[in-house]
Chains A and B, each alone.
Chain A
C-alpha cells in the first residue's frame, strides 16, 4: 500500500512540475511541425513524379526512412526526459530534506524507492508510447507506411527507457543530483560512440574489428540503450519482401544509428535483468543510507 501511495504521489508531483507542462507543450509543437513539414515534402515529391509505380515505391522508401528518423527523435526526446525528470528521484528528496518526515512513517524504504521508480517508469513509458504512436500515425497518414512489427519496436524503446531509468535510479541513491545527471547523460551520449567507431573501423582497418566489437559489447553491457535503439530500428523496417521490391536488403540499414538485424537474445535478457537489477541495487543502497 505504501508503494502505491508513493507512486501516486510521484505522479502527482511530476504532473504539477512546470517541467512537465513544458515537455507536453514542446512535444505537441514538435509533432505539429513534423506533420506540417512532412506534408509539404510528400506533396512536393509526389507533384514532381508522374510515374505511378515509382511514386508508390518512392513513398514507401520515404516512409521507411522517415519512420526510422522520427522514432530516433522520439528515442532522444524520451531519453532526455528520463534523465532530466529522474536524476533527482532520491537525491533531490535527500538534499531538500523532504524524506525526513516520510521515512519515519509506517512504510519501508523499499516501498519508497520502488514507489518512486514505478511512478517515473509510468510517466516515461506513457510519454514514450504516446510519442511513438503519434509519430507513426502522422507518417502513416502521409506515406501509408506502418511498420508491421511496431509493437516490438515500442517494446525495445520502452526497455531502453527503463534501462536509462535504472541508471538514474541507482545514481540518485549514490550521488548528488547534478553528478547523477551528468553521469547518465555522458553514458547515454557515449554509448553510440562504440557503434560509430565500429562502423568506421569496418572500412578502415578490418583486422582490429574484433577488438572494437569486444569493446562495443562491454559498452552495451554497461549501458544497453544504444543496442536497444538498434533493436528498435530493426523492428521499424518493413518485411524482407518490401525490401526486395525497393531493390534493398536489411543489411543496407547496418549503420551506426540503425540495424538490419534484431538484438541478440542474450543482450535482450541482459537488458531486462539490467532494468530490474539497477533499481534493486538502489533499494539496497538506500536501505543503508543515513539521512
Chain B
C-alpha cells in the first residue's frame, strides 16, 4: 500500500520482550508514519502497554529495534520532540498545575516567557483555564487526564503517544479530548493512540494495529482489514419469493432481517454490484427505499480478529 505519509514516526522491527519466562511481546514489527494517527488495539494483557513502554524508554526490549522520528529511543534530542501520557497517570500531588507544567516544560528545555505562555495555552486547550494554582492532589480523575495531556503536548511534539487517554473522562470530557486530538492531527502532529475506545480510534485513526498475546495480528487502514465480502443494506417492499430468488442469483448471500422483513443484507463480490441489485428490485416490481453499504465497525473487526486468533494461529496481515 502506498502511504500518503512517507517518513516513519515510529519504526519497530522484530521486537521481543521477555519478563523472566513470560513472553510479553513476540516478534512485533510495524511502522507508523508522520502526520498520521495510529491506533494500537488489543485486549488486556495483549502486550500493548509493554510496547508503549518500550517506545518511551521505560522498558528495554529483550530483542529487536525501535526508532522514533528516525532516532533510537535513547536519543535525547528526539525526546524533546515527543510527548507521552501514560495510562492512569499519577503525578506529584503536592504540585500546583502551573508548577507541574513549568517543571515538565523545563525538562523539555523551555524557559521564561515562552514557557509561561505555553503553560497558559495548554491549560486552555485541555479545558483547565483558571486552575493554574490548584494542587494536583485536589484534581479529579478526569482533570488528571487533562493535565496529563497538557504536559504531553506542552513542547508542541511531532509525535504524541497516548495510553488510554479517555479512560477517566466523562462523556463531555471524552468529546472535548476527541476534538482536541482532531485539532492536533490537523496541525500535523503524529498521534499514537493506545485505546480500548474503539469508536474513538475508528473516528480518529488512519491506521490501526491489532495485537494479541504479544503478536501483531493486523496492521492497516481499518476498512482495508476486513477480509469478508462487502455487504449492502437494502430496504424494499414488498419482499417476494421471486425477489429473494433473483437476488440470490446475483449475490453471494441474501439475509432477511429478523425484526424487519423489508430489510435485506446482501453480500456481494464487489461494490459495483449495487447496480445489479437495484435492477433486480425494479424488475420484480418492488419499490427500492434504500441501498447502502452495510457499516462494518472497527469493533466488529477487532472482535473477529481476536476471536480468530484465539481459535487458531493467525497469519499476520500487514499493509
Contacts and interface: CB of A to CB of B under 8 A. Distances in A.
B104 A106 contact: no
A9 B103 contact: yes
Given A105-B104, A107-B107, A98 B92 contact: yes
Which of A1, A9, A101, A290 has most chain B Cβ within 10 Å?
A: A101
Contacts of A16: 94
Nearest to A17: B94
Given A97-B90, A98-B91, A105 B79 contact: yes
Given A2-B107, A5-B103, A9-B103, A104 B56 contact: yes
Most buried by A among B88, B103, B104: B103
Given A17-B94, A101-B148, A5 B107 contact: yes
A13 B100 CA distance: 12
B120 interface: no
Contacts of B84: 100-101, 104
Nearest to A4: B106
Interface in B96-150: 103-104, 106-109, 148
Interface string A1-43: 1100100010001001100000000000000000000000000
A18 to B, nearest CB: 10
A290 B53 CA distance: 9
A100 B109 contact: no
Specify which of B58, B82, B86 lies most central, judged by the most chain A CB atoms within 10 Å of its CB.
B58
Contacts of A2: 107
B76 A291 contact: no
B178 interface: no
Contacts of B19: 290
B76 A106 contact: yes
Contact of A13 (B58, B90, B94): B94
Classify chain B: how many residues form its interface, as a range: 20 to 34
Interface string B73-84: 000110110101
A207 to B, nearest CB: 51
B58 A106 contact: no
Contacts of B57: 103-104
B58 A103 contact: yes
Contact of A101 (B59, B89, B94): B89
* Interface band, chain A: 20 to 34
Contacts of B104: 101, 105
A102 interface: yes
A254 interface: no
Interface string B133-175: 0000000000000001001100000000000000000000000
B91 A101 contact: yes
A2 B84 CA distance: 18
Contacts of A103: 56-58
B60 interface: yes
A143 to B, nearest CB: 43
Contacts of B80: 106
Interface string B42-83: 000000000001001111100000000000000011011010
Contact of B53 (A1, A96, A106, A291): A291
B108 A106 contact: yes
A13 to B, nearest CB: 7
Contacts of A101: 84-86, 89, 91, 104, 148, 151-152
A13 B92 contact: yes
A108 interface: yes
Q: Which 9 A-B pairs have the closest CB atoms?
A: A106-B79, A97-B90, A104-B56, A105-B107, A100-B86, A291-B58, A106-B76, A290-B59, A106-B80
6 contacts: A97-B86, A103-B58, A106-B108, A107-B76, A290-B59, A291-B59
Given A101-B148, A101-B151, 4 more contacts: A1-B109, A13-B92, A103-B58, A105-B104
Interface of B: 19, 53, 56-60, 76-77, 79-80, 82, 84-86, 88-92, 94, 103-104, 106-109, 148, 151-152
